[in-house]
Amino acid sequence: MEAEIRLSYENEREAEAVAKAVSPDNVEVPSGLYVKTVRNGSEVHTKVECQTRLATLIATVDDLLACVSVAEKSFTVAKK
């Protein structure tokens, strides 16, 4: 199973901030799970592959989007 998430932002700076926020360098993922996030211009692309259970894929995507939400809320605070 796999999921691809593509998010667009106003500029490359915001996209880079989100990509860095959801891509910690030292996180180990469980066996059978692969997560890769890259910035492409003002977009953030994440690919999640899961060879175990659908529930694991859903939980991973949910966690990722929660982290994205926190990063996006920081833009609002920073702009004020």
| pLDDT tens sequence across 36-52 | 999 999 999 999 999 99
Cα separation, 6 vs 23, whole angstroms: 15
pTM value > 0.85 = yes
pLDDT of 30 reads 85
- Sequence-distant (≥ 6) Cβ neighbours of residue 45 within 8 angstroms: 4, 5, 6, 37, 38, 39
Instruction: For residue 78, name the pLDDT band (cuts at 50, 70, 90).
Output: confident
Cα separation, 19 vs 35, whole angstroms: 12
Yes or no: is domain 2-79 CATH 3.20.20.140?
no
